[in-house]
Structure 1
Amino acid sequence: MKQLLIAALLLASLQAVGQHAPLTAQLDQVGLTFALNPNGQPTYTLRYGAKVVVKPSRLGVALADGQGFEGPLEVVGSETKDVDETWQPVWGEVKTIRNHYRQLTVHLRQPAAPRRLLDVVFRVFADGLGFRYEWPRQANLQYFTVTAEHTEFNLPANHKAFWIPGDYDSNEYAYTTSRLSEINTTPIEVIQLKAAPYRVQTPLMLKSDDGLYVNIHEAALVNYPAMMLTVDPKTFGLTSDLVPAVTGAMAYLQAPEHTPWRTIVVSDKAPEVLASKLILNLNEPSQIQDPSWIKPQKFVGVWWEMQVGRASWNYSDSSNIKLAGTDWSRLKPNGRHGATTANVKRYIDFAAQHHIQGVLVEGWNVGWEDWVGNWKEEVFDFVTPYPDFNVDELQHYAASKGVKIIMHHETSGSATNYERRQDAAYRFMDEHGYDAVKTGYVGRIIPRGEHHDGQWMVNHYVHTAQKTAASHIMVDMHEPVRSTGLHRTYPNWLASEAARGNEFNAFSDGNAPEHETILPFTRLMGGPMDYTPGIFKLQGYAASAPKRQVHTTLAKQLALYVTMYSPLQMAADLPENYNQHLDAFQFIEDVPVDWDDTRILAAEPGDYIVTARKAKGKEEWYLGAITDEQARQQTVKLNFLTPGTKYVATIYADAKDADWQKNPAAYQIRQQSVNSRTALKLQLAPGGGAAISFKPVAK
C-alpha cells in the first residue's frame, strides 16, 4: 500500500511540472525508454542489455512559423503493439524475411495554443530501433515548413567511427577511420560542395570500446531531405542535419505526413549488423503487383574504356553544341567514340558467349560534347542516337544473341529536363527492346540551387522509380541520394551508386584496400550498390597515368561479387582483358545475383569480411572472403552446406606471392571435395581475397 502511494505521488509530481512517467518498450536485449525532460522536451534512451547505446537524447522538429515541436510538449496518450510476420522479397539476399518488432506510439500535444499534435512512433527490433515523427490530420496544422529537426543521438563514449563528409551533393568519398573526437572534414578535398567541419554522412558505422557495433542511418526516405549528422567532438553527441532546399527551408509538408524512419542497428557481433533487415522492414511493401518482369542480372558494357581514356562518350570534339538545330551527321567524328555499332556488337558477342544477360552502352546519344560543368538545362533528349550508333540494327543483333541492351540516361544534373522527356524516352526504350536503364546525375542540379540529397531531388528519384515501374523498366541510379531500403517498395529500383565506386581506381588515387571492407557496413546498409567490380587488368590500364592501379588482387575482385550484394552486377573490364583469364572469369559467369540464403561468417569493419550465399532455387553456394591491406588466414567452417551432400569446391585464391601492389594478378584455382563438416583455410594476400563455388556432386 505504501509503494502504491509513493507511485501515485510521483506521478502527480511529474504531471505538475508538465512531465510524464517514462514509457518503455523492449525486445530481447534492445530496450527503449521515452521521457519528457524537465523542459517538457521529448527524449529517448536506448540500451543493449546492460550497455547504453544512446544516452538521453532530444527529439523535436522546428517549423517556420515558430510554433513547432521543440517543446514543451505534453503526453496525451500512448499505445503499444507487437508485430511478428514474414514476407518474401522479389529478389534479395534471403528468400524470407522476418519482421518482428514491438511498437510504442507516443501522442504529444503542445500545452498552449495552437495545441498542435505530434506522434512519435518507435519500433524496437531485436537488432535495433526505428523511430519517426508523424503529424496526424488536425485543424491547426495543414501546410507547414520544416526548418530544422532536433533529433539527437548522444553517444556514451568516444567510439571508433567510419565516416565520410556530409556533402549535400556527393557520397563519393574515401572513408576515414577515427575516433569521434577526431572527426574533421576540413582537410578533405571536396567533390561538389564545401562540407561543414563536423558534418558526416549516414550510414555512420561505430564501434565502442566495450564491444558494441552501432550503425545510424534512416529508412524509407520519401518527400523529405536526407539526414546527415553533426558531431560534437567533445561530448560525442550527434545531431540531425537536414539537406536544405534552395530557399533555405528543409521540407515543405502537408498533414497528415511523417518523416523517414531514423534507424539504429546494434549488436555485439559485427556479422549481425550486416545481416540486419531492420531498414528493409521499415519500408512499405512492394507497390508492384506483378513483378515477374523484374530480372536480376549481370552485364558488361561500353564504359570502362571511357573511364581509362581509351574511348570517349562524345562523338565529336566540336564546341558550342545545341540540342536543337544541330545537324549531327555533318559533325566531324573524333575517332575515339566508344558507342559505335561495331564496338557494341563486340560486347554483345562476349555477353552471349558467357551467358551474361545485359550490355550497357554509355555515350550512344547526342549531347556529350558539352554535358558537364556548364549547368545547362537541355543537354540530352534521350531519344536521338549519334550517327555511328544504329539503334535498329543493334536491337535485332542483340535479340538474335539472347542479350538485352541496357539504356543509359545521363541527365547532367538537369532533373527538370529529364522529367519533361521521360515519357518519350521510355516509349523509345519500349519500341527498341530496352527494359533497363542506368540514370546519372553528374553535376550541379537543375532546378538551380537544389541539392542531390534535398527534398526536391529525393522526390525526383522516387518519381523516376514509379515512372519506370509503370513502363516495366528496371532502373539503376547513379549520383543519387544514398539508399534507404526503398527497393522493397519499388523492386524495379535494382541498384544505385551513391558512394565511391570501383571507377575511382581509373581516374584518381583509387580506393584503399580497406574500402570494400567498410562499404557493406556503411553505404550498403541502405541497399544494393552498383560498385562495378571485376577489373582484371589491375595495372597499366591508364595511358595518362601508367603507375595508377586498382588496389586489390584479381581474386579479391572475384570475391566482391559475393561480399558486396547487388541484384545488378557488372563485369566491368574489357572483353580482351577477360579473354586472357577465362579460367578466372568462370566464377563471374557462374556466380548468381539472386539468393535464397546468406550467412555472414566473419566480419570486422575496415578489416575483413567472409560471406556465403545460397543460389536462388539451386543447391549451390558461393563464398567471398576479402581483407584490407593486411594479409590474413581465414579458417572457414562449411557447416552452412546441406548435411549429407557432397560438393565440389572450386577455389579462386590469391597465389602465394600475390600482393595488391607488387603482384595483383597472381591467382590460383584448385578444386576439392567438401561437405558440411569440412573446414577450409584461406590465405588472403595483402589487399586480397578468395572466391569459392560449391556445387553438389552428381549422384
Structure 2
Amino acid sequence: MSLLNPSLRACALVLPFALVTPAFAQQDRPAVTAASPDGSIVLTVATDNDSRPTWSLSRKGKLLIAPSKLGFILTDGLNMVRGFSIAGSDKASGQERWEQPWGERRFVNDSHNELLVRFQQSDVQGGRRMNVRFRLFDDGVGFRYELPEQPGLKTMRIADETTEFDIAPAGTAWWIPGGEWNRYEQVYQKTAIDAVSTAHTPITMRLDDGTHLSFHEAALVDYAGYWLKRSDGRKFRTTLAPSSQAARVIRDLPFNTPWRTIRIADDAAGLVDNDLELNLNEPNKLGDVRWFRPAKYIGIWWGMIRGDWSWAEGPNHGATTARTKRYIDFAAKHGFRGVLVEGWDKGWNGDWFGHGDDFSYTQSTPDFDLPGLAAYARDKGVHLIGHHETGGNIANYEAQLDAAMRLYGGLGVDVVKTGYVADAGGIIAPGEAPGETRMEWHDGQRMAQHHLRVVETAAKYHVAVNAHEPIKDTGLRRTYPNWVGREGARGMEYNAWGAFANGPDHEPTLVYTRMLSGPMDFTPGVLSLEGADHAPLASTLAKQLGLYLALYSPIQMAADFIETLETFPKELDFISKVPADWSESRLIAGEVGDYAIFARKDRNSEDWYVGGVNDATARTVTLGFDYLEPGKRYTATIYRDGEGATYLTDARHEIAYETRTVRKGDRYDLWLAPGGGAAMRLVPAK
C-alpha cells in the first residue's frame, strides 16, 4: 500500500472459513486442499505414513511438485519433523490493488486464495505446534511457517529446515552456486535440473512441457536466507545460510519465517511480469516517501574500477574536490540528478578488503570538501550520492551508523551506496562481550538484521539505500521503499577486468533470474565498450542503451567517464531522457538466456520506451505496438545495431539511427546483432 494516495487502494476482501479435521487416528485424517483463484493450481497438504507434514502442487491437472516434506531440525531438542497430525485448517481469499511509490509499474494487483494448516506434534515427539500458511495466486504460490506461542517452547534454535521441493517433471535450470566466496557474483550455469548442486535463489527452470518456474523467497526478515540444495534426482530442500553460532536461526516465539515462493508461468514473460514476492511483503511502513526521487546518476567510480584512480589517498586519488565539481557540472548540464563519489572518507589507505577497521563515515579526506560540495551540487540542482564501504566490518559500521546517516541527511545527500566487500563468510559482526567480534555469512540471520537496521536508520534521515555485496532482494522494498536498489549479482564492474568477462548471454540471463528478485544497480552506460587495457565488452553500443530497459532500477547510472560520454552525443541524449520510474512494464519478446525486449511507459508522461538485449546469436524479432493508445501516432526514435555489428570485433560500435511513425497494430522487424541490443523512444505526435 502506498500512503501517497490511499484512496487508490481497493478494499481487500477476506473471506475466512474453517475446515477442521477431527482427532481421528493418523491414517483416517484426510488431506487438505486449496486452489488458486482460476483453479489452475491445486495444493494438497497432508501427512505421510511416517507422520511427516507434506505438501504437493499440481497445475492444469499435471503434478508439478510431488509430495514434499516440511519441518525443522533444532539444535537443542527433538526435531520438528515427525509425529505430526493436522489439527485443523482455515481458508481465506484476498483481492487488492495497491500503488507503488516507484517501480516497474505503478499499480500491483493481488488476487489470491489462502490456506492455513495447523499441525500438532504428538507428545512423544515433543508436542509442539507448527502452522503453515499457503497463499495461491494464478501465477505462483508462497508459503511460510508460523510458530505460535506455546508451552515448553519459548525460543527456537534452528539448525536447518527440512522444507522440500520435489519437482516432478524434467527440465532445464539456470542457476549460480550458493555459498561461494564471492557471494552472488557468479556466471549463471545452464544445466539439467537434476545436475544442479546447491543454488542461490532466484533459480529459474523451464520444464520439458514449457512450464517456467522460479524458486525464491519473500520478506526475509530476522532469518537466514536459504540456498536450494538438491538432495536426490529433482528433489531439493532449503538449507539456511550458516551462522557463527550452532543454530543458523534463533527466534523467540511467536514468529513467522520468510515466504518460500515459486513463480509459475506458461512462458518466460509470465515469470517476468509477475509480482508474487511484492504481494507477499507487508505494505509500506515508512509513509510518505516522496523525498526519494527515481533518477539517473554519474559517478567517480569507473576510474577506480579500471585502476586509473585510487580509493586510497595519494596522487591518483579519485575523490577530489576538483574532480567532483567537474562531475557535478556535467550532471547539471546533461540532466543527471546524482553524482556518486567513492573513496571520499578516511580509511581507504592500506589493505581494507575484508576487515574495514579504519573506515570513518563522517570524516573526509583532506582533499575532499563534503559540506562544500554538497552545497555546490545543491545550487546546481544536483545531489551527491554517498558511499559507505564497510570492508565487511559491520561492527565498525553499526557503531557509526546513526551519525553517518544524520550527516548525509543534513547535507541533502539523500541516497547512499553501501558496500560489504568480503568473502562469503567474512562479515565481522559484534559479539556478546564488549570488543568481541564474530564472523558471519553475507546472507545469514545476522546480516538480515543488519541490512534492515541500515535501511530503518537511513529512513529516519530521509536517505535511500543502494546496497552492494548485499543480502538478496526478497521484495522488502514494498515495506521499506527507501531500499531502492542492490547489486547482488555479477555487474558491469567485471567488464573492467578482462575481455568479455561477462559473456554476451549474461544480461539476457539476468533478466530471467536475478532480476526476478528486484531492482539491480548494474551500472550500464559504458559507451567506450572497453575496460582496463582496452579489454572489450561483450556488447554492442546499442546493447548499452538497451540495458536501461532490460535491467530495471530506480537509480540508473551512466558508468563511463564523463569525457567519454560526451563523445557519444546521440547516445548520451537517450540516456539523459530515459526514465528511471515507470507506470507500466511488460516483456514483449524474449526467452530465458537468449534475449529480452521490454516496453515500458514513463510514469510522468505519455512516452513509451522499448528495448533490450541479445545473446551471441544474431536474430530478427518482430515487435508489436499493441500497448499504444488507439488512434494516436507516435514518433519513434530508434537506436539499433548497425549493419555488420557484432560484439566480437570493432564492429561492436556500429549503430544505426532511425525515426519513423508508429501506431497501435503496427509491426517492426528488429535485427539484433551478436551481443547486441536496441532502444526506442516513442513520443505521441503533435
User: TM-score when scaled to structure 1?
Assistant: 0.91
1:243, 1:595 → 2: CA distance? 34
Question: Contact (CA 8 Å) 2:640, 2:678: kept in 1 or not?
Answer: yes
C-alpha displacement of 1:690: 0.6
Measure the CA separation in 2 of the matches of 1:566 and 1:372: 29
Matched, 1:85 2:96: yes
- Cα contact 2:202–2:216 (8 A) shared by 1: yes
Q: Which runs of 5+ in 2 are unaligned?
A: 1-20, 430-437
2:653 counterpart SS class: coil
**What secondary structure does 2:304 align onto?**
helix
Partner of 1:325: none
In structure 2, the residue matched to 1:392 is: 371
Are positions 1:135 and 2:123 aligned together?
no
1:181 is aligned to 2:169: no
Q: What secondary structure does 2:638 align onto?
A: strand
Q: CA offset at residue 65 of structure 1?
A: 2.4
Deviating more after overlay: 98-107 vs 441-450: 441-450
Hey, what's the Cα distance between the residues in 1 that align with 2:96 and 2:615? 38
Distance 1:158 1:379, change over 3 A: farther
Which string of whole-angstrom CA distances, capped at 9 and with x for unpartnered residues, describes residues 328-357 of structure 1?
Answer: xxxxx3x11111111111111111111110
Post-superposition Cα deviations, 1:20-50, rounded to whole Å, max 9, x if no partner, equal 2111111221111111111111111111212
Aligned to 1:474: 464
Distance 1:611 1:40 in 2: 48
1:37-116 matched pairs, under 5 angstroms: 37-112=48-123, 114-116=126-128
Shift of 1:168: 5.8
**1:168 touches 1:454 (CA, 8 Å); kept in 2?**
no
Counterpart residue number, 1:282: 280
Deviation at 1:181, TM superposition (A): 3.0
- TM-superposed deviation, 1:669: 1.2
Determine if the alignment matches structure 1 residue 144 to structure 2 residue 156. Answer: yes
Shift of 1:139: 2.2
1:77-131 CA-partner distances (Å, limit 9, x unpaired) = 1010010111101111111111111000001111115422110000000001100
Contact kept in structure 1, 2:347 and 2:356, CA below 8 Å: no
Contact 2:504 2:614 in 1 (8 A): yes
Alignment of 1:159 with 2:157, yes or no, is no
Alignment of 1:220 with 2:219, yes or no, is yes
Q: Secondary structure at the match of 1:146?
A: strand
Q: 2:223 is matched by which residue type in structure 1?
A: Y
- C-alpha distance in 2 between matches for 1:387 and 1:372: 19
Task: Tell me which residue corresponds to 2:31.
Answer: 22
Does the residue aligned with 1:624 lie in a helix, a strand or coil? strand
Of 600, 610, 623, the residue aligned with 2:597 is 610
Secondary structure in 1 matching 2:288: coil
CA offset digits 1:49-97 (Å, max 9, x no partner): 1222211111111222232321120111101001011110111111111
SS of the residue aligned with 1:664?
helix
Cα deviation, 1:549-568, whole Å, max 9, x if unaligned, reads 21111111111111111111
What runs of 5+ residues in structure 1 fail to find an aligned partner? 1-10, 184-197, 316-332
CA distance in 2, matches of 1:163, 1:471: 38
Maintained 8 Å contact 1:134/1:256? yes
1:677 shift after superposition: 2.0
After superposition, where does 1:520-669 map in structure 2 within 5 Å?
Answer: 520-539=511-530, 541-543=531-533, 546=534, 548-662=535-649, 663-669=651-657
Match of 2:455 among 465, 469, 486: 465
2:498–2:532 Cα contact (<8 Å) kept: no
Confirm whether residue 484 of structure 1 aligns to residue 484 of structure 2. Answer: no
Matched letter for residue 222 of structure 2: N
**Counterpart residue number, 1:6:** none
Q: Is the 8 A contact 2:26 2:85 kept in 1?
A: no
- The answer to whether the Cα contact below 8 Å between 2:296 and 2:556 also exists between their aligned partners in 1 is yes
Paired AA for residue 86 in structure 2: V
Partner of 1:242: 240
1:19–1:74 contact (8 Å) kept in structure 2 = no
1:675 aligns with 2:648: no
Deviation, 1:18, is 5.1
Equivalent position SS for 2:269: helix
CA gap 1:680/1:246 in 2 versus in 1, 3 angstroms: same
What does the per-residue CA deviation read over 1:657-687, in whole Å, with 9 as the maximum and x for residues that have no partner?
A: 1101112111111111111121111110001
Please tell me the root mean square deviation across aligned C-alpha atoms, in Å: 1.5
Superposed counterparts of 1:132-531, under 5 Å: 132-167=144-179, 170-183=183-196, 198-232=197-231, 234-315=232-313, 333=314, 335-373=315-353, 375-376=354-355, 378-443=357-422, 444-447=426-429, 448-509=438-499, 510-531=501-522
Structure 1 residues 19 and 474, CA gap change in structure 2 (3 angstroms) = farther
Residue aligned with 1:368, SS:
coil
Higher alpha-carbon deviation: 145-154 or 56-65: 56-65
Q: Distance in 1 between matches of 2:600 and 2:506?
A: 21
Q: Which runs of 4+ in 1 moved over 6 A?
A: none
Work out the CA distance in 1 between the residues paired with 2:494 and 2:164.
34
Whether the aligned pair in 2 keeps the contact of 1:370 and 1:379 (CA below 8 Å) is: no
2:64 touches 2:169 (CA, 8 Å); kept in 1?
no
Give the counterpart letter for 1:179 in structure 2.
A
Paired with 1:294 and 1:132, the residues of 2 have a C-alpha distance of 32
Using the alignment, how far apart are the partners of 1:157 and 1:210 within structure 2?
8
1:379 and 1:412 in contact (8 A); partners too? no
The answer for the alignment partner of 1:694 in structure 2 is: 682
Q: Residues of 2 paired with 1:586 and 1:51: CA distance? A: 51
Contact 1:168 1:451 in 2 (8 A): no
Deviations 1:365-385 (Å, cap 9, x if unpaired)? 111112534x53522111111
Secondary structure at the aligned position of 2:484 is classed as: strand
What is the identity, as a one-letter code, of the residue corresponding to 2:680? I
Distance in 1 (CA, whole Å) between partners of 2:602 and 2:549 is 11
Q: How big is the shift at 1:309?
A: 1.3
Aligned to 1:4: none
Instruction: Measure the CA separation in 2 of the matches of 1:405 and 1:685.
Output: 37
CA contact (8 A) 1:610 1:626 kept: yes
Q: Percent identity?
A: 40
**Which range moved further: 306-315 or 105-114?**
105-114
Indicate if the aligned counterparts of 2:542 and 2:641 stay in contact, CA closer than 8 A.
yes
| d(CA) in 2 for partners of 1:531, 1:484 | 18
Q: Residues of 1 paired with 2:661 and 2:355: CA distance?
A: 60
Describe the shift of the 1:672–1:377 C-alpha distance in structure 2 as closer, same or farther (beyond 3 A).
Answer: closer
Aligned to 2:129: 117
Q: Is the 8 A contact 1:19 1:38 kept in 2?
A: no
Aligned to 1:684: 672
Output the CA distance in 1 between the equivalents of 2:483 and 2:26.
50
Gap change, CA 1:377 and 1:512, over 3 Å in 2: closer
1:598 counterpart SS class: strand
Q: Is the 8 A contact 1:204 1:522 kept in 2?
A: yes
Q: Distance in 1 between matches of 2:634 and 2:442?
A: 48
Distance in 2 between residues matched to 1:173 and 1:55, nearest whole Å: 30
Task: State the shift of 1:399 in Å.
Answer: 1.5
CA distance in 2, matches of 1:271, 1:655: 27
Give the drift of 1:268: 1.1
**Corresponding residue SS for 2:532:** coil
Corresponding letter in the other structure for 1:260: P
Contact 1:145 1:251 in 2 (8 A): yes
